[in-house]
Amino acid sequence: MRPREEMAARGSGKRGSGSGGARGPEPQEEPPPPLQAVLVADSFNRRFFPISKDRPRESLLIVWEKPWYFKAQALLPLANVAMIDYTLEFLTATGVEETFVFCCWKSAEIKEHLQKSKWCCHTSPNTVRFVPSDLYRSLGDVLRDVDAKSLVRSDFLLVSGDVVSNINISSALEEHRVRRKLEKNVSVMTMVFKESSPGHRARCQEDDIILAMDSATNRVLHYQKTQGLKRFPFPMNLFQSNIENVEVRHDLIDCHISICSPQVAELFTDNFDYQTRDDFVRGLLVNEEVLGNQIHMHVTTEEYGAHVCNLQMYEAVCSDIIRRWVYPLTPEINFTDDPAQSYTHSKHNIYRGRDVSLGHDSVLDENVLIGWGTIIGNNCSITNSIIGQNCKIGDRVILDGALIWNGVNVANDAEIRESLVCDEAEVKESVKLKPRCVLTSQVVVGPDITLPEGTVISLHPPDEDEDEDDEFSDDSGVNKEEIKVKLKGYNKLEVGSEGRGYLWRADNENEVDEEEQRQSLWGPHLNLGEESETDSDISLGSEQPDSRSASPQLDDIKVFQNEVLGTLQRGKEENISCDNLVLEINSLKYAYNISLKEVMQVLSKVVLEFPLQQLNGELDPQHYCVSLLPLLKSWTPLFKNYIKRASDHLDALSAIEEFFLEHDGLCTSMAKVLMAFYQLEILEEEMILNWFSRRDTSDKGRQLRRNQRLQKFIQWLEEAEEESSEGDQD
Amino acid sequence: MPGGAEKQSELSEEIEAFVVRLKRGGQRPRSEETARQTLGLLRKIIARGRWGKAGELMGLIRKEGQRMTVAQPSETTVGNMVRRVLKIIREEYGRLRGRSEESDQQESLHKLLTSGGLSEDFSTPFAPLRANVIEAINELLIELEGTTENIAMQALEHIHSNEVIMTIGYSHTVEAFLKEAARKRKFQVIVAECAPFCQGHKMAIRLAEENIETTVMSDASIFAVMSRVNKFPNEEDSFHKFVSPQEALPFTEGEILTKINVHCPVFDYVPPELITLFISNIGGNAPSYIYRLMSELYHPDDHEL
Closest approach of chain A CAs to the CA of B7, in angstroms? 13
Nearest to A197 among B70, B254, B261 (CB): B254
Same domain, A445 and A586: no
Same domain, B60 and B139: yes
Query: Per-residue confidence at A695, pLDDT binned at 50, 70, 90?
Result: low
The chain B residue lying nearest A334, using CA atoms, is B71
Domain that holds residue A587: 555-722
**Is the pLDDT higher at A4 or at B180?**
B180
pLDDT of A336 higher than 50: yes
B 115-174 → A contacts, CB under 8 A: none
Are the C-beta atoms of A124 and A118 separated by less than 8 Å?
yes
Same domain, B9 and B137: yes
pLDDT of A476 higher than 50: no
Question: What is the rounded distance in angstroms from the CA atom of residue B142 to the CA atom of residue B36?
Answer: 10
Type of residue at A430 = S
Q: Cβ separation of A200 and B252 shorter than 8 Å?
A: yes
pLDDT of A126 higher than 90: no
The chain A residue lying nearest B21, using CA atoms, is A93
Same domain, A272 and A406: no
Here the CATH number for the domain that contains residue A42 is 3.90.550.10
Same domain, B133 and B170: no
Domain that holds residue B126: 2-110+122-147
Kindly state the average pLDDT of the residues A366-382: 93
pLDDT of A517: 42
Give chain A's mean pLDDT.
75
Angle formed at CA A179 by CA A178 and CA A182, multiple of 5 degrees: 85
Query: Per-residue confidence at A502, pLDDT binned at 50, 70, 90?
Result: confident
Question: What is the rounded distance in angstroms from the CA atom of residue A220 to the CA atom of residue B50?
Answer: 58
Condensed to tens digits (0 to 9), the pLDDT of residues A556-602 reads 777 888 888 888 888 878 877 778 888 888 888 777 777 777 787 88
Question: What is the rounded distance in angstroms from the CA atom of residue A274 to the CA atom of residue A269?
Answer: 9
- pTM, full prediction: 0.70
Are the C-beta atoms of A338 and A363 separated by less than 8 Å?
no
CB < 8 Å to A367, chain B: 261
From the number of C-beta atoms within 10 Å of its C-beta (0-12, 13-18, 19+), residue A245 rates as exposed
Does A550 map to a domain?
no
DSSP classification of residue B118: G
The chain A residue lying nearest B13, using CA atoms, is A123
Same domain, B10 and B97: yes
Same domain, A376 and A273: no
Are the C-beta atoms of B35 and B297 separated by less than 8 Å?
no
Condensed to tens digits (0 to 9), the pLDDT of residues A130-158 reads 888 877 878 888 888 888 988 888 889 99
Kindly state the average pLDDT of the residues A334-353: 85
pLDDT of A524 higher than 70: no
Q: Cβ separation of B263 and A349 shorter than 8 Å?
A: yes
Question: What is the rounded distance in angstroms from the CA atom of residue A280 to the CA atom of residue A190?
Answer: 13
Kindly state the average pLDDT of the residues A512-517: 40
pLDDT of A64: 26
Does A539 map to a domain?
no
User: What letters, b where the CB count within 10 A reaches 16 and e where it falls short, cover B138-153?
Assistant: eebeeebeebbeebbe
B 209-228 → A contacts, CB under 8 A: none
Nearest to A323 among B13, B252, B261 (CB): B261
Condensed to tens digits (0 to 9), the pLDDT of residues A85-118 reads 899 989 988 888 889 988 877 778 788 888 888 8
Does A352 map to a domain?
no
Angle formed at CA A303 by CA A301 and CA A306, multiple of 5 degrees: 100
Condensed to tens digits (0 to 9), the pLDDT of residues A541-553 reads 333 433 333 444 4
Here the CATH number for the domain that contains residue A397 is 2.160.10.10
pLDDT of A582: 82
pLDDT of A22: 37
Nearest to B243 among A251, A324, A348 (CB): A324
> Quick check: B249 contacting A, CB < 8 Å?
no
**Is the pLDDT higher at A679 or at B109?**
A679
pLDDT of A550: 40
pLDDT of A26 higher than 60: no
Mutate to test the interface with A, among B18, B257, B259 (most CBs of A within 10 A): B257
Q: Cβ separation of B251 and A195 shorter than 8 Å?
A: yes
Cis? peptide before A447, omega within 30° of 0: yes
Q: Cβ separation of B261 and A327 shorter than 8 Å?
A: no
Asked which of B172, B199, B230 is the last residue of a domain, the reply is B230
Closest approach of chain A CAs to the CA of B168, in angstroms? 23
Condensed to tens digits (0 to 9), the pLDDT of residues A147-196 reads 898 888 888 999 988 889 988 888 899 999 888 888 877 888 999 998 88
Q: How many domains does chain A have?
A: 3
Cα torsion for B31, B32, B34, B36, to the nearest 10°? 160
pLDDT of A393 higher than 90: yes
Q: Cβ separation of A335 and B23 shorter than 8 Å?
A: yes
Candidate from A256-265, A276-285, B16-25 with smallest mean pLDDT: B16-25
pLDDT of A186: 81
**What stretches of A138-261 show up as alpha helix (H) in DSSP?**
139-149, 170-182, 237-240
Residues above pLDDT 90, as percent of chain A: 12
Q: Cβ separation of B262 and A168 shorter than 8 Å?
A: no
Q: Cβ separation of A324 and B240 shorter than 8 Å?
A: no
Same domain, B67 and B104: yes
Does A18 map to a domain?
no
Closest approach of chain B CAs to the CA of A585, in angstroms? 43
Same domain, A564 and A711: yes
Q: How many domains does chain B have?
A: 2
- pLDDT averaged per 10 residues in sequence order, chain B, 305 residues: 64 83 69 87 88 87 87 82 90 79 54 57 82 92 90 90 90 90 91 86 92 91 89 71 75 71 79 85 86 84 80
CB < 8 Å to A199, chain B: 254-255
pLDDT of A125: 82
Residues above pLDDT 70, as percent of chain A: 77
CB < 8 Å to A81, chain B: none
User: What letters, b where the CB count within 10 A reaches 16 and e where it falls short, cover B44-69?
Assistant: bbbeebebebbbebbebbbebbeebb
Are the C-beta atoms of A315 and A306 separated by less than 8 Å?
no
Does A531 map to a domain?
no
Nearest to A196 among B17, B20, B252 (CB): B252
The shares of helix, strand and coil residues in chain A, as percent rounded to the nearest 5, are 45, 15, 40
> Quick check: B106 contacting A, CB < 8 Å?
no
Q: Cβ separation of B261 and A348 shorter than 8 Å?
A: yes
pLDDT of A483 higher than 80: no
Does B236 map to a domain?
no
pLDDT of A30: 55
Does A469 map to a domain?
no
Does B241 map to a domain?
no
Asked which of A412, A438, A458 is the last residue of a domain, the reply is A458
Does B91 map to a domain?
yes
Closest approach of chain A CAs to the CA of B71, in angstroms? 6
* Best CA proximity match to B84, nearest among B130, B33, B44, B139: B139
Asked which of B230, B265, B283 is the last residue of a domain, the reply is B230
Q: Cβ separation of B251 and A328 shorter than 8 Å?
A: no
Does B89 map to a domain?
yes
Does A172 map to a domain?
yes
Same domain, A693 and A584: yes
- What ipTM score was computed for the predicted complex, to two decimals? 0.81
Here the CATH number for the domain that contains residue B128 is 1.20.120.420
* Best CA proximity match to A451, nearest among A434, A429, A471: A434
pLDDT of A59 higher than 50: no
Are the C-beta atoms of A542 and A230 separated by less than 8 Å?
no
Does A472 map to a domain?
no
Kindly state the average pLDDT of the residues A676-685: 80
Type of residue at A483 = I
Asked which of A307, A324, A346 is the last residue of a domain, the reply is A307
> Quick check: B263 contacting A, CB < 8 Å?
yes
Question: What is the rounded distance in angstroms from the CA atom of residue A536 to the CA atom of residue A702?
Answer: 36
Nearest to A196 among B25, B26, B251 (CB): B251
Residue A225: how many other CB atoms lie within 10 Å: 19
The chain B residue lying nearest A319, using CA atoms, is B258
pLDDT of A290 higher than 70: no
The chain B residue lying nearest A167, using CA atoms, is B26
Question: What is the rounded distance in angstroms from the CA atom of residue A431 to the CA atom of residue A449?
Answer: 5
Residues of A with CB under 8 A from a CB of B: 92-93, 122-125, 166, 168, 194-203, 251, 301-304, 323-328, 330, 332-335, 342, 344-345, 348-349, 366-367
Mutate to test the interface with B, among A118, A300, A304, A325 (most CBs of B within 10 A): A325
Query: Per-residue confidence at A384, pLDDT binned at 50, 70, 90?
Result: very high
Q: Cβ separation of A197 and B25 shorter than 8 Å?
A: no
Here the CATH number for the domain that contains residue A675 is 1.25.40.180
Candidate from A40-44, A316-320, A454-458, B64-68 with smallest mean pLDDT: A40-44
> Quick check: B246 contacting A, CB < 8 Å?
yes
pLDDT of A414 higher than 90: yes
Here the CATH number for the domain that contains residue B177 is 3.40.50.10470
The chain B residue lying nearest A118, using CA atoms, is B16
Question: What is the rounded distance in angstroms from the CA atom of residue A354 to the CA atom of residue A340?
Answer: 8
Candidate from A24-28, A614-618, B184-188, B271-275 with smallest mean pLDDT: A24-28
Same domain, B129 and B167: no
Same domain, B133 and B164: no
The chain B residue lying nearest A329, using CA atoms, is B24
Q: Cβ separation of A342 and B25 shorter than 8 Å?
A: no
Condensed to tens digits (0 to 9), the pLDDT of residues A204-228 reads 777 788 889 888 888 888 888 887 7
pLDDT of A374: 94
pLDDT of A536: 36
CB < 8 Å to A200, chain B: 251-252, 254-255, 257-258
Nearest to A198 among B72, B73, B254 (CB): B254
Does B288 map to a domain?
no
Same domain, B130 and B14: yes
Same domain, A386 and A258: no
Same domain, A189 and A81: yes
Kindly state the average pLDDT of the residues A341-354: 87
Query: Which residues is B190 bridged to in the sheet?
Result: B166, B215
